[in-house]
């Protein structure tokens, strides 16, 4: 059942999801560490290193080395978004079943 319309729709869906993951990856790699560092500075005072540069360098080294905790931190906005989408989908799916 590979019709041109199905292929176009699938291509649009993949493009949309790739754009979404790129946006969340940008947020997780660049914006989230700034937020974490700022909150850490307010709550715990000075970072043990020499400011934001050391903090970002430590996180980026862990991401490059494949540390799963660092990757979980970076991917957490995307994981949260997908969890919300799945929850809303299941809520709609089970809600429509109960209204009969």
Whole-model pTM?
A: 0.76
State residue 1's pLDDT score.
57
In angstroms, the Cα distances linking 39 to 52, 53, 63 are: 12, 15, 21
**What are the structural domain ranges in the chain?**
4-98
Give the C-alpha distances (Å, rounded to integers) separating 36 from 11, 42, 52, 55, 85: 36, 10, 10, 10, 25
Token pair belonging to 61: 């080294």
Q: What confidence tier does 93 reach under pLDDT thresholds 50, 70, 90? A: confident
What is the pLDDT confidence band of residue 60, given thresholds at 50, 70 and 90? very high
């Amino acid at each position: 059942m590979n019709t041109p319309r199905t292929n176009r729709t699938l291509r649009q869906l993949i493009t949309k999801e790739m754009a979404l993951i790129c946006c969340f990856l940008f947020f997780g790699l660049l914006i989230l560490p700034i937020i974490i560092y700022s909150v850490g500075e307010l709550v715990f005072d000075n970072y043990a290193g020499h400011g934001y540069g050391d903090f970002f360098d430590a996180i980026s080294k862990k991401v490059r080395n494949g540390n799963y905790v660092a990757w979980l931190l970076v991917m957490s906005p995307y994981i949260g978004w997908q969890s919300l989408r799945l929850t809303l989908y299941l809520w709609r799916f089970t809600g429509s079943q109960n209204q009969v």
